[in-house]
Chain A
Amino acid sequence: MTRLNSKYTRVYANGYDVSGVATNIGTVGVEVDEASGAAYSDEVVNIILGNSSMKCGPINAFLSPSAATGLHELMSAGNVIQNIMIPFGAVADPTVGMPCFAWTMQQGSYQANGDGIVGVTINYPQASYSTVKGYDNPFGLLVHAKGAETAANTAIGTIDNGASSAKGGIFAWQLFSSDGTCTLSIDDSATNLNNAAFAALSGATSGEIDATTTPASGMIALAKTATVRQYLRWQIALNSATTATFALAFIRGT
Chain B
Amino acid sequence: MTVNVKFATVANSIAALSVSGVHMYDTDQIPTNANMVVPCMFPKPNGYISNITPTIETYGTAGSEKITLEYDLTYTYCHAAIAENLNFGAYAGFITKIASILVTLLTNDAIAGAVDIRVSSVSDFGVALDPAGNAYHGCDITLHVQEFCEVS
Question: Given the complex of chains A and B, what is the CA–CA distance between A92 and B115 in angstroms?
Answer: 8
User: For chain B, which range describes its interface: under 10, 10 to 19, 20 to 34, or 35 or more residues?
Assistant: under 10
A155 within 8 Å of B (CB atoms): no
Q: What residues of A have a CB within 8 angstroms of the CB of B148 in the complex?
A: 2-3, 5, 91
Q: Is the CB of B150 within 8 A of A7?
A: no
Q: What residues of B have a CB within 8 angstroms of the CB of A5 in the complex?
A: 115-116, 148
- What total of chain A residues lie within 8 Å of the partner, measured CB to CB? 6
Q: What residues of B have a CB within 8 angstroms of the CB of A3 in the complex?
A: 57, 66, 148, 150
> Which residues in B have some Cβ–Cβ distance to A below 8 Å?
57, 66, 109-110, 115-116, 148, 150-151
Q: What residues of A have a CB within 8 angstroms of the CB of B66 in the complex?
A: 2-3
Q: Which residues from 62 to 95 on chain A have a C-beta closer than 8 Å to any C-beta of chain B?
A: 91-92
Question: Given the complex of chains A and B, what is the CA–CA distance between A2 and B151 in angstroms?
Answer: 7
CB distance from A247 to the nearest CB of B (A): 19
Given A3-B57, A3-B148, list of 15 further CB < 8 A pairs? A2-B148, A2-B150, A2-B151, A3-B66, A3-B150, A5-B115, A5-B116, A5-B148, A7-B109, A7-B115, A7-B116, A91-B115, A91-B148, A91-B151, A92-B110
CB distance from A254 to the nearest CB of B (A): 26
Question: Given the complex of chains A and B, what is the CA–CA distance between A5 and B110 in angstroms?
Answer: 12
Question: Given the complex of chains A and B, what is the CA–CA distance between A91 and B116 in angstroms?
Answer: 9
Q: Which residues from 1 to 38 on chain A have a C-beta closer than 8 Å to any C-beta of chain B?
A: 2-3, 5, 7
Question: Given the complex of chains A and B, what is the CA–CA distance between A7 and B146 in angstroms?
Answer: 12
